[in-house]
Structure 1
Amino acid sequence: MARARIDDGAGRAAVRAALAAVAAGNSASRDIRAQAVRYTLQLLAEQAEGNTLEVRVPPFGAVQCVAGPRHTRGTPPNVIETDAATWLALATGALPWADGLASGAIHASGSRATLIGHVPVLPLP
């Protein structure tokens, strides 16, 4: 059974609240961070349909995305994993892919483990 889709209004509000908390030097509530991460992962999966790459943002969610060879069993060959703050920065355009990768905040394994051309999913001014 598929997960319920997060409403765009609620998702955008969660992303803005999470980013505002970070900008103020605080951390948003776990519920706000979870909704913001899940919403932006949902956008990624919709914008980059496929099953070649698994993007993980523990403990909040993971999606398979990007067109190409389908992964069906065992450990996925192409995986990207990062924390919630880094993911939200990537998803909104505040952090370029190359900078996140170079800093070690993003862990990418596999020949197709890149989000170049797929992030940001929700550019914010």
Structure 2
Amino acid sequence: MSDAVDAWLAGGEQPDRVTLKAAVKASLALLVERAPGHTVEVRVPPFGAVQCVEGPRHTRGNPPNVVETDPRTWLALSRGILTWCDAVHAGVLTASGSRAPEVATLLPLR
């Protein structure tokens, strides 16, 4: 992860789009590596979405287990700067479905 992203999360200026996209993609790839599977879809628009957590595969329509948040929140969660509970309570993270909260047990990713 880049120093520019760390500085942004600490209150500095937002990095360029390419840097943000790379940081989100790298962290989502690490999540999939840590919890391979297709039970929960994690969405960080506009930069990426992955399926993770072992269990039944979702194949049609809207997935039953979805986590969605913005890039800043996701990167803060993945680095342990923000907790899952704080993100949910602040309304910057949504988790639907009975298995979606399992992603919280995988964070931080570092």
Shorter-chain TM band:
over 0.9
Alpha-carbon distance in structure 2 between the residues aligned to 1:57 and 1:89: 12
Residue 40 (structure 2) aligns with: 53
Q: CA deviation at 1:21?
A: 2.8
Change (3 A) 1:112 1:24: closer
Residue 116 (structure 1) aligns with: 104
Q: Which runs of 4+ in 1 moved over 4 A?
A: none
Alignment map for 1:1-125 (pairs within 5 Å):
12=1, 14=2, 16-114=3-101, 115-122=103-110
Q: Deviations 1:8-43 (Å, cap 9, x if unpaired)?
A: xxxx3x3x3212134243101011000000000000
Aligned-pair Cα RMSD in Å: 1.1
Alpha-carbon distance in structure 1 between the residues aligned to 2:39 and 2:8: 33
Alpha-carbon distance in structure 2 between the residues aligned to 1:77 and 1:24: 35
